[in-house]
């Protein structure tokens, strides 16, 4: 096992997925009788290991038990039989097995006069001999029915029942089974948790519950409820495999002990550990739950370790799993993510643990809640500061001490103590007491949502809140609330919690978004998304890929591949992974983010990994996107990207492929790794060292030699000359063939690592292998047409074109767009989250902050509008300051020749202007965001607005409550709308209709927003708070007809790269039977010309093309050779022959006994088979000898 919760098996990292299965225990179902509709109960008693018992109610009013899925007996017979065997408890319910004993156990519940189930079951038994113990007779009768062929003696019967139910080696409820059984059947006081076999109490209580269900007093169980399904983690799964291996080993030991004489026995001679080793290897190597770890990025690794599978040994089969078991269940809330699951046949069977979910000691998933209290002890000091829920009256005098909704002070608390009031009813408040509950425990409580409004004292603001109890969601009085969710993201898993504005996305698209984040390839320059959810730090922290400090200390050394931290326990060295290959061929490269001399605490991130930046998850890049249809280039979700992204390597990734070769000891002699390769040019060997292994750093392309290897050829009878050469030069003269390791077709890159393993130093090489060489080749892959990209909202597409920067649409200031997405991809898919992310990202980029918007508790539309308004005010203030700067410089007669551009002029002006107003002049040049915000504050002040009512200093953001933000947001929107309207009137007054010429200060804000549409229709300049921009076509220089949604979107490059998929073939391998080219890139195959393609050529009447496709380009063996020869020699191509697949068809029909012949139009019979081959070979031989007849 590795330190980061994985398993390393023969050099590959694997994950043992936890299994979600039905828990051991008792389960009840109801089947309605067809005629009367009355409920008939069925029960199952399922152990962890051992015989199942199935109980059933018959229509004729008696109960039966099917033991170990064999024969059925009346349940009363089984109860009598159990009385004859000791169940390990001191308080048996049945001693003699008489009718009176049985009827007394059920007399309080079996009271339905029309349906007496216990009496009915007794009547199904045989008659007992009253002179003999009834329990023993019942046991023998039970044995006869279970084992009809064996002699029914009391001794055999006792032994049988003891082995089946009371022997802990054969029957085990497990700790969880006993816990569930005691809880379900109310046996906490009767059977201790340590007792893990069946008792009389279990069966009696189970039968009582069935009778109650039949009488309509109890309900059935929900088998899909998470209270009835538990998690088997790696330890339990491995334990089950070890038990199998130890049983096999035990059998071998017993056999050897019975064969060998006692004098010669030694432990080494008796015990053979191979069965145990084989069981462990089988588990890690081939178990359905031991899987190749997903390592495409840190999120993929983390999610794979949090996966829950209902498949596997003892679980469900995907072919038989129905809709109910796959569906989201109300008990999944906070335990299993309702969104993240595969899209294929495994949908609903594979799940992920929710963000705060954990597994308890019994294997049930728990989720945390904060306890809600509505009473406080009268003597408690915690009473002070809470509001009284109702009037608190002194019981002695009848005076009101505290009125309802009045805050309790220290004086009030003293009066309450003196009055001797035991419990005080206060306004319900949320405590810091966190309670983890399993699904069945949670069903008994009313739980409020995490976003219910609380005041500063954690008291509920509203009298009624949205809550849930069991599977019912409703508004409830706060007095009835028992607990509250800890966070809104509690319901979803880690991947879904990384999607901003998740609540605005359709569930299907959210599912795709959470799954596609795990496919994002690590980029060369990772960037944390500007619009994030706050989960990025925790996801990267727990992924196992970043390097964490193991203790407090000081960094004393930082190099590219090592960090040393000195703590109280001495120096600690952290070796970094450099250019390591992941299981998905992506690159894991760790980079230090601490500096020498820095103090670190335990858990501090010391080094980033792939797809992380400063310890936070960074799967993609923030790019400037526009939702625009552009020359048909983004038809059907295609994506247009700017050449800038390719040129600046924003989406460039490194991929590392591993190539191995083994030198074996063959029958003809040993293979050899060598530089001396026959019939190879010097140029092909230039990068090999003296051993024949390529050097690190060499650039390689397809078919280049990575490792030189020669293999001995088969010996043949030597000529005298060869014998002489062999005698002179020894073995060097023998024939060898070149079997070197070459780079596969289509591959390229740079050699980054070479590892050599030989038998002398590495004993665990496979049998027959003397040397193994492993070469790692890394390649940089830039963004190209055909690559798949996606956002975080399930908005995926394939790049259709990389557009030159100058042709891309650009903003009014000349900033070119990075990516153009199709606007038609939004409404139909209902993933509006991408639009909100675009708007908020656009505002955040211009205002210089990073937006953290948690799922289900993120930014509202009004908050996004206010930020867009602030961004426009900042941009407008910056433009005005630039104009003012040149005017000011002219006024003071500054030599303008000394200035390069607007930036220098503006800096001179604002340094003078803002310096006099008390701003930090030294920050204005180095901190662009500070300069822009400062200019904006003073500009809005000059326009008559209160800057403190619009902007808040970034340092004060954490302390600002939502209620304090609301008036600021309203003022920001109003200021933006009125200033934009005034600017439009100033710039385009003559072009605008008369209706819009209004007093911007006096007109109602809503009216201004309506009139703004008329301005936009004329000027193409939209209202800033709508998040749209005037966009200009780069090719024509003209603005588009309508404003376009422009903003910042976090885009991912997915692991479906065109370079792995594009493939071409001229000639290559053929199938042995059909002689047709193989299929697929891996086999270097061709493109299948199938039935529908044949129809297409038939429709066009392209007869000769069709004939070529089905013969010389496919499986006409002679024809394709001659055609190739004719092309090379520039001769006329001959007529095609008969395809080999036609020959296969004829032979198939002949094998069925059908006499099938193929006759040409001239009447000749085409022969197939050995005689045809003989004839063809003889024709070829005759042609080779010049047509001469051999008369010998």
Quickly list DSSP for 173-231: -HHHHHHHHHHHHT-TTTS-TT--S--HHHHHHHHHHHHHHHTTSS----TTSTTSEEE
How far lies 1192's CA from each of 9, 872, 1176, in Å?
67, 104, 21
pLDDT for the residue 1190: 37
pLDDT for the residue 1188: 39
Tell me: do 136 and 44 sit in the same domain.
yes
Give the residue from 37, 435, 445, 35 showing the smallest Cα distance to 214: 37
Residue 472 has pLDDT above 60, yes or no: yes
Does 536 map to a domain? no
Contact 25, 43 (CB under 8 A): no
| For range 370-396, the mean pLDDT | 90
Burial of 900 (C-beta count, 10 Å sphere; 0-12/13-18/19+): exposed
CA 389 – CA 427 distance, rounded (Å): 5
How far lies 719's CA from each of 638, 669, 713, 716, 723, in Å?
67, 21, 16, 9, 6
Contact 179, 200 (CB under 8 A): no
Structural domains of the chain, count = 6
Domain boundary among 429, 455, 486: 486
Tell me: do 716 and 729 sit in the same domain.
yes
Phi, psi of 781 (to 5 degrees): -115, 115
Residue 1177 has pLDDT above 60, yes or no: no
Contact 1165, 1145 (CB under 8 A): no
Stretch among 482-496, 806-820, 829-843, 1073-1087 having the lowest mean pLDDT? 1073-1087
Residue whose entry in the numeric block shows the structure tokens 């997903």: 294
Is pTM, for the whole model, over 0.75? yes
CA 891 – CA 946 distance, rounded (Å): 29
Q: 308 has which bridge partners? A: 18, 351
Does 569 map to a domain? no
Tell me: do 282 and 382 sit in the same domain.
no
Phi, psi of 997 (to 5 degrees): -80, 85
Tell me: do 468 and 386 sit in the same domain.
yes
pLDDT for the residue 490: 95
pLDDT for the residue 1: 62
CA within 13 Å, CB half, 1095: 3
pLDDT digits (tens, 9 = 90+) for 760-818: 888 788 888 999 999 999 999 999 999 999 999 999 999 999 999 999 999 999 999 99
Q: 21 has which bridge partners? A: 230
pLDDT digits (tens, 9 = 90+) for 499-547: 999 999 999 999 999 999 999 999 999 999 999 999 999 999 999 899 9
Does 640 map to a domain? no
Residues 6+ apart with CB under 8 A from 763: none
Give the residue from 1026, 650, 676 showing the smallest Cα distance to 865: 1026
Does 623 map to a domain? no
CA within 13 Å, CB half, 60: 7
Q: What is the CATH number of the domain that holds 679?
A: 2.40.50.150
Q: Give the 3-state secondary structure percentages of the chain, helix then strand then coil, rounded to 5.
A: 35, 25, 40
Residue 1187 has pLDDT above 80, yes or no: no
Angle at 157 between CA 156 and CA 159, to 5 degrees: 65
Is residue 778 helix, strand or coil?
Answer: strand
How does residue 1178 score in pLDDT terms, banded at 50, 70 and 90?
low
Domain boundary among 426, 460, 486: 486
pLDDT digits (tens, 9 = 90+) for 1063-1120: 888 888 999 888 889 988 888 889 999 999 999 999 999 999 999 999 999 889 999 9
Tell me: do 1128 and 1142 sit in the same domain.
yes
How does residue 1166 score in pLDDT terms, banded at 50, 70 and 90?
confident
Tell how far CA 194 is from the center of its chain. 38
| For range 819-828, the mean pLDDT | 95
CA 1151 – CA 1165 distance, rounded (Å): 19
Q: What is the CATH number of the domain that holds 63?
A: 3.90.1110.10
Contact 533, 616 (CB under 8 A): no
Tell me: do 1142 and 1080 sit in the same domain.
yes
| For range 322-329, the mean pLDDT | 93
How does residue 734 score in pLDDT terms, banded at 50, 70 and 90?
low
Tokens at residue 1124, please? 């190739």
How does residue 581 score in pLDDT terms, banded at 50, 70 and 90?
very high
Contact 407, 387 (CB under 8 A): yes
| For range 716-721, the mean pLDDT | 74
| For range 84-101, the mean pLDDT | 86
For the chain, what is the largest distance between any 2 Cα atoms, rounded to a whole number of angstroms?
142
Residues 6+ apart with CB under 8 A from 77: 121, 124, 125, 138, 141, 142
Tokens at residue 943, please? 């326009």
Does 198 map to a domain? yes
pLDDT digits (tens, 9 = 90+) for 206-228: 999 999 999 988 889 999 999 99
Tell me: do 116 and 53 sit in the same domain.
yes
pLDDT for the residue 1171: 55
pLDDT for the residue 1161: 83
pLDDT for the residue 1167: 76
Tell me: do 49 and 68 sit in the same domain.
yes
Count Cβ atoms below 10 Å from residue 481 Cβ, excluding itself: 23
Tell me: do 120 and 213 sit in the same domain.
yes
Tell me: do 281 and 382 sit in the same domain.
no
Residue whose entry in the numeric block shows the structure tokens 């060292």: 689
Residue 311 has pLDDT above 90, yes or no: yes
pLDDT for the residue 636: 92
pLDDT for the residue 1189: 35
CA within 13 Å, CB half, 1179: 6
pLDDT for the residue 5: 66
pLDDT for the residue 1182: 47
pLDDT digits (tens, 9 = 90+) for 1029-1059: 999 999 999 999 999 999 999 999 999 999 9
How far lies 572's CA from each of 92, 550, 563, 659, 963, in Å?
62, 8, 8, 34, 48
| For range 324-328, the mean pLDDT | 94
Q: What is the CATH number of the domain that holds 1144?
A: 3.90.1800.10
How does residue 1005 score in pLDDT terms, banded at 50, 70 and 90?
confident
Does 586 map to a domain? no
Long-range contacts of 1020-1026 (CB under 8 A, 24+ apart): 1021/984, 1023/977, 1023/980, 1024/868, 1024/869, 1024/871, 1024/872, 1024/976, 1024/980, 1025/865, 1025/866, 1025/868, 1025/869, 1025/872, 1025/973, 1025/976, 1025/977, 1026/868
Which helix (H) or strand (E) covers residue 591, if one does?
strand 591-592
Does 264 map to a domain? yes
Tell me: do 44 and 193 sit in the same domain.
yes
pLDDT digits (tens, 9 = 90+) for 939-972: 999 999 999 999 988 777 777 777 788 888 999 9
Tell me: do 772 and 693 sit in the same domain.
yes
Domain boundary among 226, 261, 277: 226
Does 619 map to a domain? no
- Structural domain of 1125: 1065-1184
Tokens at residue 321, please? 């799993």
CA 156 – CA 968 distance, rounded (Å): 86
Which helix (H) or strand (E) covers residue 232, if one does?
strand 229-232
pLDDT digits (tens, 9 = 90+) for 590-610: 999 999 999 999 999 999 999
């Amino acid at each position: 096992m590795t330190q980061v919760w994985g398993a390393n098996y023969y050099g590959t990292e694997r994950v043992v997925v936890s299994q979600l299965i039905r828990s051991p225990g008792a389960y009840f179902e109801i089947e309605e009788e067809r005629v009367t509709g009355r409920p008939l109960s069925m029960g199952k008693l399922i152990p962890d290991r051992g015989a199942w018992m199935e109980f059933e109610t018959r229509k004729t009013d008696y109960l039966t038990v099917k033991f170990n899925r064999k024969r059925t007996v009346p349940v009363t017979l089984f109860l009598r039989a159990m009385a004859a065997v000791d169940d390990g408890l001191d308080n048996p319910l049945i001693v003699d097995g008489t009718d009176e004993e049985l009827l007394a156990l059920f007399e309080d519940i079996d009271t339905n006069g029309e349906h007496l189930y216990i009496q009915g079951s007794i009547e199904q038994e045989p008659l007992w001999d009253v002179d003999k113990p009834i329990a023993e007779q019942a046991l023998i009768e039970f044995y006869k029915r279970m084992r009809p062929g064996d002699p029914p003696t009391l001794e055999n019967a006792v032994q049988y029942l003891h082995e089946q139910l009371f022997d802990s080696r054969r029957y085990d409820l497990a700790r969880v089974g006993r816990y569930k059984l005691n809880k379900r059947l109310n046996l906490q006081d009767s059977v201790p948790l340590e007792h893990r076999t069946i008792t009389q109490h279990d069966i009696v209580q189970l039968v009582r519950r069935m009778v109650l269900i039949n009488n309509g007093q109890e309900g059935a169980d929900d088998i899909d409820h998470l209270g009835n399904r538990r998690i088997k983690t790696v330890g339990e799964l491995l334990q089950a495999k070890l038990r199998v291996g130890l049983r096999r080993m035990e059998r071998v030991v017993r056999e050897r002990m019975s064969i060998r004489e006692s004098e010669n026995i030694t432990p080494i001679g008796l015990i053979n550990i191979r069965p145990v080793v084989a069981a462990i290897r089988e588990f890690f190597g081939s178990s359905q739950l031991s899987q190749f770890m997903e390592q495409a990025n840190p999120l993929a690794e983390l999610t794979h370790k949090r996966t829950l599978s209902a498949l596997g040994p003892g679980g469900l089969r995907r072919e038989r799993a129905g809709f109910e078991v796959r569906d989201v269940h109300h008990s999944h809330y906070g335990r299993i993510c309702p969104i993240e699951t595969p899209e294929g046949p495994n949908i609903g069977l594979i799940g992920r643990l929710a963000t705060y979910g954990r597994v308890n000691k019994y294997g049930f998933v728990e989720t945390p809640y904060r306890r809600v209290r509505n009473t406080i002890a009268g003597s408690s000091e915690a009473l002070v500061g809470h509001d009284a829920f109702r009037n608190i009256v002194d019981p002695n005098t009848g005076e009101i001490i505290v009125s309802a909704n009045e805050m309790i002070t220290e004086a009030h608390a003293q009066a309450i103590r003196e009055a001797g009031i035991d419990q005080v009813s206060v306004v319900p408040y949320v405590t810091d007491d966190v309670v983890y509950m399993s699904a069945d425990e949670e069903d008994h409580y009313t739980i409020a949502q995490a976003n219910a409004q609380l005041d500063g004292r954690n008291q509920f603001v509203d009298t009624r809140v949205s809550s849930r109890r069991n599977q019912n969601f409703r508004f409830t009085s706060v007095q009835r609330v028992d607990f509250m969710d800890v966070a809104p993201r509690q319901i979803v898993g880690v991947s879904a919690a990384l999607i901003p504005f998740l609540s605005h996305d359709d569930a299907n698209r959210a599912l795709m978004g959470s799954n596609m984040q795990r496919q994002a390839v690590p980029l060369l320059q990772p960037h944390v998304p500007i619009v994030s959810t706050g989960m990025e730090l925790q996801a990267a922290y727990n992924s196992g890929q970043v390097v964490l400090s193991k203790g407090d200390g000081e960094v004393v050394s930082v190099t590219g591949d090592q960090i040393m931290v000195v703590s109280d326990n001495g120096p600690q060295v952290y070796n970094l992974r450099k250019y390591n290959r992941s299981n998905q061929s992506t690159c894991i490269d760790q980079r230090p983010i601490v500096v020498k001399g820095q103090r670190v605490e335990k858990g501090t991130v010391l080094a980033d990994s792939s797809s992380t930046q400063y310890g936070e998850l960074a799967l993609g890049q923030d790019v400037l996107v526009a939702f625009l249809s552009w020359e048909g280039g983004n038809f059907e979700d295609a994506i247009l990207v700017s050449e800038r992204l390719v040129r600046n390597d924003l989406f460039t990734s490194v991929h590392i492929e591993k190539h191995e070769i083994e030198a074996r000891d063959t029958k003809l002699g040993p293979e050899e790794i060598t530089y001396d390769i026959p019939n190879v040019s010097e140029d092909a060997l230039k990068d090999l060292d003296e051993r024949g292994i390529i050097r690190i750093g060499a650039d390689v392309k397809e078919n280049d030699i990575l490792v030189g290897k020669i293999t001995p050829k088969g010996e043949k009878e030597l000529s005298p000359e060869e014998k002489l050469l062999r005698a002179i030069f020894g073995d060097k003269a023998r024939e060898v063939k070149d079997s070197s390791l070459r780079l596969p077709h289509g591959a390229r890159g740079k050699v980054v690592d070479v590892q050599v393993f030989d038998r002398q130093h590495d004993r665990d090489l496979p049998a027959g292998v003397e040397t193994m060489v492993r070469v790692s080749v890394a390649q940089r892959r830039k963004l190209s047409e055909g690559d798949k990209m996606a956002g975080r909202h399930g908005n995926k597409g394939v790049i259709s074109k990389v557009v030159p920067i100058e042709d891309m649409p650009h903003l009014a200031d000349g900033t070119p767009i990075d990516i153009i997405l199709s606007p038609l991809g939004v409404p139909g898919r209902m993933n509006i989250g991408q639009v909100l992310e675009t708007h908020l990202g656009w505002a955040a980029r211009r205002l210089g902050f990073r937006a953290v918007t948690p799922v289900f508790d993120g930014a509202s539309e009004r908050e996004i509008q206010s930020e867009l308004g602030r961004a426009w005010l900042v941009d407008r203030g910056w433009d005005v300051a630039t104009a003012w700067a040149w005017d000011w410089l002219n006024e003071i007669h500054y030599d303008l020749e000394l200035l390069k551009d607007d930036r220098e002029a503006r800096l001179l002006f604002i340094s003078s202007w803002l310096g006099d107003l008390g701003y930090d002049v030294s920050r204005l040049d180095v901190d662009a965001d500070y300069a822009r915000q400062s200019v904006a504050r003073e500009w809005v002040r000059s326009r008559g607005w209160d800057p403190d009512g619009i902007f808040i200093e970034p340092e004060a953001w954490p302390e600002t409550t939502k209620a304090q933000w609301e008036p600021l947001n309203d003022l920001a929107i109003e200021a933006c709308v009125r200033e934009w309207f005034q600017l439009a009137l100033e710039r385009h007054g003559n072009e605008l209709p008369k209706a819009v010429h209004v007093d911007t200060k006096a007109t109602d804000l809503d009216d201004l927003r309506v009139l703004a549409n008329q301005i936009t229709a004329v000027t193409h300049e939209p209202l800033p708070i709508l998040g749209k921009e005037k966009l200009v076509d780069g090719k024509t220089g003209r603005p588009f007809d309508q404003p376009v949604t422009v903003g910042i979107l976090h885009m991912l490059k997915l692991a479906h790269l065109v370079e792995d998929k594009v493939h071409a073939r001229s000639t290559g391998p053929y199938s042995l039977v059909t002689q047709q080219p193989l299929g697929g890139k891996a086999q270097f195959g061709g493109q299948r010309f199938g039935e529908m393609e044949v129809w297409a050529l038939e429709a066009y009447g392209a007869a000769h093309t069709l004939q070529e496709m089905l013969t010389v380009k496919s499986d006409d063996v002679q024809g394709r050779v001659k055609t190739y020869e004719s092309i090379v020699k520039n001769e006329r191509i001959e007529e095609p022959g008969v395809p080999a697949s036609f020959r296969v068809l004829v032979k198939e029909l002949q094998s069925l006994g059908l006499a099938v012949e193929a006759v040409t139009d001239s009447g000749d019979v085409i022969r197939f088979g050995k005689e045809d081959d003989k004839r063809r070979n003889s024709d070829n031989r005759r042609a080779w000898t010049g047509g001469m007849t051999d008369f010998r």
